[in-house]
């Protein structure tokens, strides 16, 4: 299948490479010339703008930072909508506001282009391994038609409901992840400050009810103080902004999510916004006037 792929960032680039490896023909577009060159070296071709990409493919995929970027790429000058043609379909894999997904879908529908919103979870490791979790909203027929494409990039592909439902599910996911990271941070700092090796505590509790994918992925990073980004703090702030905005729109209080949002905002103000969201640990260490280490030795 000839597929357009727009957005070759930390997630999009390995996702696009997995599609190439599976035998699909890709036309790519990104503002990062080095990322485009890397995909061209792997066998892709390029489009001058999103319109040019859309005009020559059956399916356009986007993996972009936020709602304004999706609107610009799809509905802006030289956008996907200007390259609309019979048989074209669009899947947005970005994590954006559900109302924007519905707005973009409505505009495309007027030109005969159907859309799915299909945000992902799993970070850079999942993007590289092709084990991302897709949360999909949109028509069942369209989901069935392109399920195999998403399966190449994901280990779990679930249709949640109609357009926008995918991003609602992603918002729920991001709230749970944020709160879980905060809880793991609290527990490790508590263990350390009480004189018990936090790594031993992690090993002791990981197989019980407290165990989680978040703990498995983030506790080792915290123990090593390795905050190389798999998912950056500034992106999680963006997602939590969408969570809290949507919660306000539908009248659902989210006090725990709001508290973690404030902590991440404080980390951004302190210059840590490009670190992994596991760097939330820094707030708890600072508050307790300590730094966790293997062996439980006080620092």
The SS3 of residue 112 is coil
The Cα–Cα gap between 289 and 295 comes to 18
Sign, CA torsion 75/69/124/14: positive
Q: Find the helix or strand (DSSP H, E) in which 200 lies.
A: helix 198-205
Mention every residue, 6+ apart, whose C-beta is less than 8 A from residue 23: none
Q: Comparing C-alpha atoms, which of 52, 62, 56 is closest to residue 5?
A: 62
Q: Are 101 and 166 in contact (CB under 8 A)?
A: yes
Strand partners, 3: 26, 59
Please, how many CA atoms are within 13 Å of residue 287, restricted to the half-sphere of its CB? 12
Q: Of residues 17, 170, 218, 238, which has the active-site annotation?
A: 170
Q: Find the helix or strand (DSSP H, E) in which 153 lies.
A: helix 140-153
The stretches of 56-212 forming alpha helices (DSSP H) are 67-75, 98-109, 123-129, 140-153, 165-193, 198-205
Specify whether 17 is catalytic: no
The Cα–Cα gap between 17 and 117 comes to 21
Q: Find the helix or strand (DSSP H, E) in which 135 lies.
A: strand 132-137
Phi, psi dihedrals of residue 183, rounded to the nearest 5°: -65, -40
Please, how many CA atoms are within 13 Å of residue 74, restricted to the half-sphere of its CB? 32
Catalytic residue numbers read 170
């Amino acid at each position: 299948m000839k597929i357009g792929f727009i957005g070759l960032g930390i997630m999009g680039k390995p996702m696009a490479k997995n599609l190439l490896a599976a035998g699909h023909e890709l036309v790519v577009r990104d503002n990062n010339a080095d990322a485009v060159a890397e995909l061209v070296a792997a066998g892709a071709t390029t489009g001058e703008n999103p319109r040019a990409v859309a005009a020559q493919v059956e399916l356009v995929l986007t993996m972009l930072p936020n709602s304004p970027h999706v609107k610009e790429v799809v509905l802006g000058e030289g956008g996907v909508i200007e390259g609309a043609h019979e048989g074209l379909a669009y899947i947005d894999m970005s994590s954006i506001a559900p109302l924007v997904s519905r707005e973009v879908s409505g505009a495309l529908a007027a030109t005969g282009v159907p859309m799915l919103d299909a945000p992902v979870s799993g970070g850079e490791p999942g993007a590289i391994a092709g084990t991302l979790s897709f949360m999909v909203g949109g028509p069942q027929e369209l989901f069935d038609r392109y399920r195999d494409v998403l399966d190449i990039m994901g280990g779990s592909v679930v249709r949640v409901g109609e357009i926008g439902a995918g991003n609602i599910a992603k918002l729920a996911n991001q709230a749970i992840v944020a709160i879980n990271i905060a809880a793991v941070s609290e527990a490790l700092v508590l263990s350390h400050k009480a004189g018990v090796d936090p790594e031993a505590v992690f090993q002791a509790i990981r197989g019980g009810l407290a165990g989680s994918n978040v703990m498995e992925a983030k506790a080792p990073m915290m123990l090593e103080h390795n905050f190389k980004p798999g998912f950056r703090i500034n992106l999680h702030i963006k997602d939590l902004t969408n969570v809290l905005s949507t919660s306000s729109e539908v009248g659902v209080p989210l006090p725990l999510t709001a508290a973690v949002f404030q902590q991440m905002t404080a980390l951004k103000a302190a210059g840590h916004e490009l670190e992994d969201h596991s760097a939330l640990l820094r707030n708890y260490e600072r508050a307790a006037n300590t730094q966790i280490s293997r062996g439980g030795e006080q620092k």
